[in-house]
Structure 1
Amino acid sequence: MKKFALVFALVLMAGPVNAELSQYTAGKVQRANNLQQENKLDEAIELLAELSPSKAYDHAFVKRMLGVFYWQKGDTQKAIVNISGAVESGLLQDEQAWITQRMLADILLSDEQFKRALPHYYQLSKSIPETQKADELWFRIAQTHYQTREWKQVLSAMKTYESLNRVDDVQPLTIKLGAQLQLQQWRQSLPTLKRLIILEPNKVAWWQQTAGIQLRLSRSKDALDTLALAKRQGVELSQQDLKTLAQLYAQRGIPEQAAIIYAQLEGAKTDVELVSSQARYWQMAKEWDKAISVWSQAAELDNKHRWPLAQLLLQGGYYRKAIAELDKVTLKDRMDDIELAKVRAYYKLENFEQAIIHAKMANNIKSTSASKSWIKYLSQMRKMDS
């Protein structure tokens, strides 16, 4: 809006003193300009609207000024009609003609008449006065193509814009990124995101998009580095981002970092899925005591997790605790495995009587080579003892 006001001010400044206007029209234009400066906009519009100049240039000039006043009043459509008439006359040949057409293009853009605005912008780009900013014009072209979802044209306009303006800014880079993503130019979008991160290091979206694209390109190491750096710098990553980071640590062979991250998540002690995942990562890291502790928490939240807890206790040599947990396991499809686990625990405790009882129970549930082998072996052990 401020840029529009500046453009309109430039148009008005050159109006009343233009030597090509007839004396009569120049007087009326000057009077209208004074009324406008006195905040009597309706009177200024009425005065100009009543004029019917015979001279073509006067007619074009009045339309231009009337269009400016209509825009200031908020009547966009009348502003467009009058300024279009002035531009299409072809009689405004000085720099003010260029400014007037730019004003028309900007109004059309603001009114979301994108297809009508584009030809004006491209016409303007052919001859840009030294006093005007060429980079701003090409950015307008890129913006307009963006609105019409013409992604290749957006990038073409942005290429020209960037050749004229070497200073990075968020809005142009965001438009460029949007077009690149729409065209699935994943590799090309990464340098754009890097520039956006430099400008807005705390904006989580840039980090998320960077990591997401790196994963899409099967660059999991880069994605891990991206999310890890974001976390170190205090960027507020989402729960899902942190879960992804943990998974990437595990894939990289650093499951203890994955467990640490899961322990920091919201609900880390009450959400059974988060607790069991944390336990699994500690187990992958061969941190047995930590894994047992967290599996115990998971088992309290959901009884199905007593089975991995019991297995780990058995593996760690905590045989009595393993038996106590196995007695609480209620997984019907695991009953034979549960009995065989008890067999191993009792065997390690040298309680062969209980071991053979549970071996036979396992065999009754499901006869397997394992259950048969235990029964045979333990029977032999009992005979030897006797």
Structure 2
Amino acid sequence: MIRRLIIYLLLMGAASSSAAELSPYAANKALQANQFAQEERFIDAIRVLEETQLTRAYDKAYLARMLGVFYWQNEQLQPAIQSLSDAVNSGELQEEQEWTTRRMLADLLLMDHQYQPALPHYYQLTKQVPKDQKAHELWLRIGQVHYQLQQWKKTLEAMAHYQHFQLPDQVTPLSITLGAQLQLEYWSAAIDTLKRLITLEPSKSNWWLQLVSLELRTGRQKEALSSLSLAKLQGVELSPQELRLLAQLYAQNGIPVRAAQLLEQLLATNSDLELVTECATYWQRAKEWDKAIESWSIAAKKDRQYYWNVALLQSQKGEYKQALASLDHVTDRQRQPEVALARARALYKLNQLDDALAQAKKAHHLSPSRESQGWVDYLTQLRAINARQTS
């Protein structure tokens, strides 16, 4: 944009150098400098103008304007800003000249990170915009400056002016708007902005992940699941942590089988115990007993406490001998009453009543409860009945 404006200024300089307001002497120097500039001999152009002695106010303003252009072309930013400031502050430039010069000055100040000085110039420019200029660009610049100054509400005000032009969505304006919305914690508005950004850049993972984060923050679990799963379908590469989050979202939304399938993919490269137990839990919630037993068995080889989970599922499946074998590996003292009671149930199913009763009594001795007492009473009566039938 700045280069285009400079070319415009140079053309205006060439066309207007013989204007009535410019003295013949100044016009001659302007044409001479402009000729050097057209040949990209900017040092020579600058020298001509710097050596020119002027008395008329308009001549000084006009040549200061040209000098600012040539300084910038010669990568001398600070002298360019000073010369353009002199031209603008003189009040001698014609209306269109003044507008384009102020625009270049504002842009150079922005380029030099002089945000606060740039603002008044941009606001002044918006008051009367020439037909061949684009007013929406000014409001975008104003939004950028307020953003750099961390003036979030003013940023959104500027971007609201920009939006009034009803232009097709573009990444830069939306990114500025999003940044301000996030700083102000306007979560719902930020979600809408992110969706527009995703439409423009569907493969950019950052937009998707921010969207999911905000949907979770605002309690939109189903929307977060939809967004993250859609990102994966779109080919967005998700990290292991993000895939795990997706699995958790599937589970929270009542789809534990998809959660387990996702974690199975992660387990191919990461056999972390926590990941294994999480996967086993999801298989169990999905009532995929064989897969759950397989996962809990893997966990049990890393930590013996998980043999308890294996044993419970084996008993549930009717695999009582296997359950008893698994219970042999459960050595946690605090769990021994539960282990004894689980043994009693398994042995009862295998019709080993004497051993079942012994385990029930052991469980009740270790930790008396209504359940253990119930098993003791039931197995005692059952054994007595069987004894009468066989006598």
| TM-score bracket, shorter-length normalisation | over 0.9
SS in 2 for 1:91: coil
Matched-pair contact (CA < 8 Å) for 1:48–1:66: yes
Unaligned runs of 5+ in 1: none
AA paired with 1:4?
A: I
1:101-160, Cα deviation, whole Å (9 max, x unpaired): 000000000111110000000000001000011111111111111111111111111122
CA distance in 2, matches of 1:235, 1:79: 45
Following superposition of structure 1 onto structure 2, how do residues 133-212 of structure 1 map, counting pairs within 5 Å?
Answer: 133-212=134-213
1:14 aligned to 2:15?
A: no
Q: How many aligned residue pairs are there? A: 384
- Cα distance in 2 between the residues matched to 1:249 and 1:5: 52
Task: Please give the per-residue CA displacement for 1:316-364, whole angstroms capped at 9, x wherever unaligned.
Answer: 1111100111101232321221121111111111112322332343344
Contact 2:152-2:181 within 8 A present in 1 as well: yes
1:255-310 Cα distance to aligned partner (Å, 9 max, x none): 11221222222556612222211111111111222211222222223322211111
Question: In the alignment, which residue of structure 2 is the partner of 1:281?
Answer: 282
**Maintained 8 Å contact 1:135/1:164:** yes
| 3-state SS in 2 of match to 1:39 | coil
- Provide closer, same or farther for how the CA distance between residues 18 and 182 of structure 1 changes in structure 2, counting only shifts above 3 A: farther
Please state whether the residue corresponding to 1:15 is helix, strand or coil: helix
Contact 2:49 2:63 in 1 (8 A): yes
Aligned-partner Cα distance in 2 for 1:39–1:195: 43
CA deviation map 1:11-44 (0-9, x unaligned)? 1222242412211122222222222333332232
Closer, same or farther in 2 for the Cα pair 1:269/1:312, shift >3 Å?
farther
The answer for the alignment partner of 1:23 in structure 2 is: 24
Aligned residue type for 1:356: L
AA partner of residue 227 (structure 2):
T
Task: Give the equivalent residue in structure 1 for 2:293.
Answer: 292
What's the TM-score, normalizing by structure 2? 0.92
**CA-CA distance at 1:375 after TM superposition:** 3.4
Q: Which residue of 2 aligns with 1:74?
A: 75
2:101 aligns with 100
- The amino acid that maps onto 1:90 is G
Name the stretch that deviates more: 331-340 or 84-93: 331-340
The residue type paired with residue 4 of structure 2 is L
Aligned-partner Cα distance in 2 for 1:63–1:165:
38
- After superposition, what is the alpha-carbon deviation per residue over 1:179-222, rounded to whole angstroms, capped at 9, x for unaligned? 11111111122221121111111112222222222222222222
Look up the SS of the partner of 2:92 in the other structure. Answer: coil
TM-score by length of 1: 0.93
The residue type paired with residue 33 of structure 1 is: N
Alignment partners' CA distance in 2, 1:95 and 1:296: 81
Identity between Structure 1 and Structure 2 (%): 49
Aligned-partner Cα distance in 2 for 1:154–1:269: 45
8 Å Cα contact 2:284-2:292 kept in structure 1: yes
Q: Who is 2:376 aligned against?
A: 375
Contact 2:267 2:275 in 1 (8 A): no
Aligned mates of 2:252, 2:145 — CA distance in 1: 44
Partners in 1 of 2:137 and 2:252 — Cα distance? 47
Q: 1:319 touches 1:345 (CA, 8 Å); kept in 2? A: yes
CA distance in 2, matches of 1:96, 1:242: 58
1:365 is matched with 366
CA distance in 2, matches of 1:152, 1:93: 35
CA distance in 2, matches of 1:268, 1:365: 43
Q: Note if 1:61 corresponds to 2:62.
A: yes
- Structure 1 residue matching 2:164: 3-state secondary structure: helix
Q: Does 1:227 align with 2:191?
A: no
Describe how 1:286-325 pairs up with structure 2 within 5 A: 286-325=287-326
Q: Which residue of the partner structure matches residue 44 of structure 2?
A: 43
Q: Distance in 1 between matches of 2:353 and 2:209?
A: 58
Alignment gaps of 5+ in structure 2: none
Assess if the C-alpha contact under 8 Å between 1:135 and 1:165 holds in 2: no
Q: Given residue 271 of structure 2, which amino acid in structure 1 is its aligned partner?
A: T
Q: How many Å separate the matches in 2 of 1:43 and 1:269?
A: 67
Q: Is the 8 A contact 2:18 2:24 kept in 1?
A: no
Does 366-375 or 219-228 show the bigger shift? 366-375
- 2:251 is aligned to 250
Q: Does 1:115 align with 2:116?
A: yes
Moved more, 330-339 or 79-88: 330-339
Tell me the SS of whatever aligns to 1:164.
Answer: coil
Letter in 2 for 1:206: W
CA contact (8 A) 1:346 1:354 kept: yes
